[in-house]
Chain A
Amino acid sequence: MFRKLKHIFKYIKLDKEKLRKDKINISENINQQIPNHIDNIEFKLKEIFQDSNDFIIRKITTGNQFKTRILIAYIDGLIDKQLIDDNILKPLLLESQKVIDDESISKRNIIELFEETLITASEIKKVDDFNRTIKAILSGDTVIFIDGTESSFVVSMRGWEARAISEPNTESVIRGPREGFVETLRTNTSMIRRKIKNPNLKFESIELGEQTRTEACICYLKGIADDNIIRDLKKRLSCIKSDGILESGYIEQFIEDAPFSPFPTIGVSERPDKVAGKILEGRIAILCDGTPFVLTVPYLFIESLQSNEDYYSRTLYSSFNRLLRFVSLIITTMLPALYVAILNFHTEVIPVKLVFSILNSNEGIPFEPVWEAIFMLIIFELIREAGVRMPKPIGQTVSIVGALVIGQAVVEAGLVSDIMIIIVALTAISGFIVPSLSEILPFIRLALIIGANILGYMGIVLIVVIVILHISSLRSFGVPYMSPFAPFRSKGMKDTLIRMPLWTMFRKTESLSWKYSGRYSINKNFNEKEE
Chain B
Amino acid sequence: MERLLHRLTLITIIFFIMLETSGCWDNVPITEKAMVMGVGIDKTEDNMIELTLQVVKPTSINYGEGSQGSSDTVWVYSTKGKTLFKAMRNQLQTINRKPFYSHVQVIIIGDELAKTGIQEVIDLFERDREPRLSPTVLIAKETTAKKVLSAKSDLENVPAMHIMEILLNNKNNFGIHNMSFINLIRNLRYPGQNPTVGVIEIENEKNDLNIADMKVKGGAILKKDKFIGWLDEKDIEGLNYVLNTSHNGIIETENPFNKGKFVTIEQKRSDTTINVKFEDEKLVFMIEVDAEGNIGGEEGEADLTTKDALSNLEGQIEKSIKEKIENIISLAQDKYKSDVFGFGEKLNKKYPYYWEEVKPNWSEEFSHSLIEVNVKFEIRNSGLINHPTKVE
Contact = CB atoms under 8 A, between A and B. Distances in A.
Interface in B28-59: 28-31, 33, 35, 56, 58-59
Contact of B63 (A350, A356, A368, A458): A356
A473 B7 CA distance: 18
Contact of B103 (A348, A365, A462): A348
B28 A344 contact: yes
Interface string A335-346: 000000001110
B120 interface: no
Contacts of A8: 1
A345 B24 contact: yes
A347 B161 contact: no
A1 B27 contact: no
Given A1-B7, A344-B29, A352 B63 contact: no
Nearest to B26: A345
A453 B24 CA distance: 11
A421 to B, nearest CB: 14
Given A343-B29, A455-B24, A458-B24, A4 B4 contact: yes
Interface in A456-480: 456-459, 462
A345 B7 CA distance: 31
Contact of B58 (A1, A348, A360, A369): A360
Contacts, number: 77
A362 B30 contact: yes
A358 B27 CA distance: 17
A364 interface: yes
B130 A348 contact: yes
B61 A356 contact: yes
A180 B48 CA distance: 81
A454 interface: yes
B27 A360 contact: no
Interface string A1-33: 100100010000000000000000000000000
Interface string A439-464: 00000000000000111111100100
B157 A356 contact: yes
A458 B59 contact: no
Contact of A455 (B11, B22, B29, B132): B22
B19 interface: yes
Interface string B139-164: 00000000000000000011001000
B214 to A, nearest CB: 21
A368 B158 CA distance: 27
Contacts of B130: 348
A249 B135 CA distance: 60
Contacts of B103: 348, 350, 352, 355
B100 interface: yes
A365 B56 CA distance: 18
B193 interface: no
B59 A360 contact: yes
A458 B61 contact: no
A47 interface: no
9 contacts: A1-B7, A345-B24, A348-B132, A355-B103, A360-B58, A364-B59, A369-B29, A369-B30, A457-B24
Given A359-B58, A455-B19, 8 more contacts: A1-B4, A343-B29, A347-B30, A355-B56, A356-B61, A358-B30, A362-B31, A363-B59
Interface of B: 1, 4, 7-8, 11, 18-19, 22, 24, 26-31, 33, 35, 56, 58-59, 61-63, 100, 102-103, 105, 130, 132, 157-158, 161
By Cβ-Cβ distance, the 9 closest A-B pairs, closest first, are A348-B102, A363-B58, A359-B58, A356-B61, A343-B30, A363-B59, A344-B27, A4-B4, A456-B24
